[in-house]
A = this chain, B = another copy of it.
Amino acid sequence: MMEELLQISPNHDPHGGGGGGGGGGGQAGKEQQAAGVGILLQIMMLVLSFVLGHVLRRHKFYYLPEASASLLIGLIVGGLANISNTETSIRAWFNFHEEFFFLFLLPPIIFQSGFSLAPKPFFSNFGAIVTFAIGGTFIAAVVTGILVYLGGLMFLMYKLPFVECLMFGALISATDPVTVLSIFQELGTDVNLYALVFGESVLNDAMAISLYRTMSLVRSNASSEQNFLMVVVRFLETFVGSMSAGVGVGFISALLFKYAGLDIDNLQNLECCLFVLFPYFSYMLAEGLGLSGIVSILFTGIVMKHYTYSNLSQNSQQFVSAFFHLISSLAETFVFIYMGFDIAMEQHSWSHVGFIFFSILFIIVARAANVFSCAYLVNLVRPAHRKIPPKHQKALWYSGLRGAMAFALALQSVHDLPEGHGQTIFTATTAIVVLTVLLIGGSTGTMLEALEVVGDSHDGCLGETYSLGENFERNHTYIAPSYDEEESSSGNRFKMKLKEFHRNAASFTALDRNYLTPFFTSHNGDMDDDDFDDQTPPSSRSGFRGHG
């Protein structure tokens, strides 16, 4: 019956004859009917995904998380459609351009990533997260790019130009937090590990997209002279520019809600309408300026959660949290369904199998290079009791599955690159996404248990929420004073540089506490622990002035 319904729309002419012959209410009516059937199918798949995901979670069946379930549903429906002869009409309704992705599906997902970041463990691990996200992603992208290029030279796989290899390296280095984190939360993992994995996968999206865009620019300007400095400038332009736009919009929203006096009862709708428009405003502002909207909306999310959110009335706070959670759940589930569907429908040339196989090998190597080298750097400056233990490093290495961001960038690369190349990258990326989501997503529970980072054997478990603040307190009181003790004894210049960077992260916390939070929010102090105020500021602020 479903197939019959879908065969209704054989005519793709968008503005066919105004007169509308025959029964059926004219061309426009028919089109609308076809649109209805397409969207109906999508809604049914969404409902099915939510219900299936819920049933699996309720029965504690961690081998098939929600994202994997959505992907499988997409694969199955796509496969069924492929077997029947209706593929063209169904395809037409699923064949979104990458712009639909970038304008409507990704913004809520990315905003929610930033918005749901728990500020305390995030900021207490800020140095490590930035190291993994910025340095680590750069390493991973370059290592993957070089390996893929060498693989091409050695005829192991499809040969791509070096710049395109780096583009592929950049896009495939964007890890996805969704699946792994839902399992982390369910099982209750160490709070620092959770913050690392979450923070890294959120921020490395921004890094990956900036790298991808920079490489894309380098490629399109390949004829003109290029030097390494220009590339760096371009990258900083994209990354810092987008970040500033996002943070700026976030600050503006905080001030608006602080002074507009909307947090009285009967204005909840107005308050929420405005709040909901800001993220999209940030996104579109960055896109309009030629920057990256994704990076911008991510930082808007972080800033809005940290400052604007506390200026809302209580009801609106509850509402916007639920709202963004809802919207991003829908978008995310839809993305996974669509990926599954697309993979089932695509005409895959099996010459790509070699490319896929070696890419997977290479990204495993690249992720190892990323995680272990960055963890080494971080551990250099951390005191003994706060070093990242090897099993956390392994968990971090393992949890690098690829999701919506890699898929979206690959979708864009089909348009950016010459025909065969973009298609190869797209096919490889979708395959990698499916494999990592199904395999890594399905085995994360087992892995976490094998590494013994799960359950209540650790004092800082996510399951026990009270330990979050406690843990943070210990970390935080550590960070600020430690440098003054250790600085003189350290002769290593590199190590000092690292510590300086770390100190800046700590002094940022102080800056936030003393200037930003009072300036941008109306509820000063009641969201933070009061006992910090007299401890940290003096030392860290002076440190900031001395070395910044």
Chain B residues near A44: list those with CB within 8 A: 281
State which of B26, B28, B418 has its C-beta within 8 Å of the C-beta of A99.
Answer: B28
Interface residues of A in 262-306 (CB under 8 A from B): 267-270, 272-274, 276-277, 280-281, 283-288, 290, 293
State which of B37, B95, B272, B293 has its C-beta within 8 Å of the C-beta of A322.
Answer: B272
Contacts beyond the supplied A1-B35, A20-B416: 12 A-B pairs with Cβ under 8 Å: A2-B96, A6-B99, A18-B417, A21-B220, A26-B416, A36-B287, A36-B288, A36-B293, A40-B284, A43-B280, A54-B270, A323-B323
Distance in angstroms from A302 CB to nearest chain B CB is: 20
* B97-A269 in contact (CB<8A): no
State which of B19, B36, B217 has its C-beta within 8 Å of the C-beta of A220.
Answer: B19
25 contacts between A and B (CB under 8 A): A6-B97, A18-B422, A25-B220, A26-B220, A28-B98, A28-B416, A29-B213, A29-B216, A32-B99, A36-B293, A37-B284, A37-B287, A39-B103, A39-B284, A46-B273, A50-B273, A54-B267, A269-B329, A272-B322, A273-B329, A273-B330, A276-B326, A276-B330, A319-B322, A323-B326
- Main secondary structure, interface of A, reads helix
Chain B residues near A290: list those with CB within 8 A: 24-25, 29, 33
A531 in contact (CB, < 8 A): no
Query: Looking at chain A, what size class is its interface with the partner chain?
Result: 35 or more
Interface residues of A in 311-368 (CB under 8 A from B): 315, 318-319, 322-323, 325-326, 329-330
- In the complex formed, the residue of B with least CB distance to A27 is B415
Distance A28 CA – B280 CA, assembled complex (angstroms)? 20
* A47-B281 in contact (CB<8A): yes
Distance in angstroms from A336 CB to nearest chain B CB is: 14
A15 in contact (CB, < 8 A): yes
Chain B residues near A217: list those with CB within 8 A: 23, 25
A161 in contact (CB, < 8 A): no
* B287-A26 in contact (CB<8A): no
Chain B residues near A18: list those with CB within 8 A: 415-419, 422
* B25-A216 in contact (CB<8A): yes
- In the complex formed, the residue of B with least CB distance to A16 is B415
Distance A217 CA – B418 CA, assembled complex (angstroms)? 48
Distance in angstroms from A497 CB to nearest chain B CB is: 33
Copies in the assembly, this chain: 2
A475 in contact (CB, < 8 A): no
Interface residues of A in 33-71 (CB under 8 A from B): 33, 35-37, 39-40, 43-44, 46-47, 50-51, 54
Distance A293 CA – B40 CA, assembled complex (angstroms)? 12
Distance in angstroms from A325 CB to nearest chain B CB is: 5
Given A273-B326, A329-B269, decide whether A28 and B412 contact each other with a Cβ distance below 8 A: yes
Chain B residues near A205: list those with CB within 8 A: none
* A102-B32 in contact (CB<8A): yes
Distance A112 CA – B75 CA, assembled complex (angstroms)? 35
A221 in contact (CB, < 8 A): yes
Which 3 pairs between the two chains have the least Cβ-Cβ distance? A36-B287, A40-B284, A36-B288
A22 in contact (CB, < 8 A): yes
Distance in angstroms from A418 CB to nearest chain B CB is: 5
- In the complex formed, the residue of B with least CB distance to A21 is B220
A548 in contact (CB, < 8 A): no
Distance in angstroms from A407 CB to nearest chain B CB is: 15
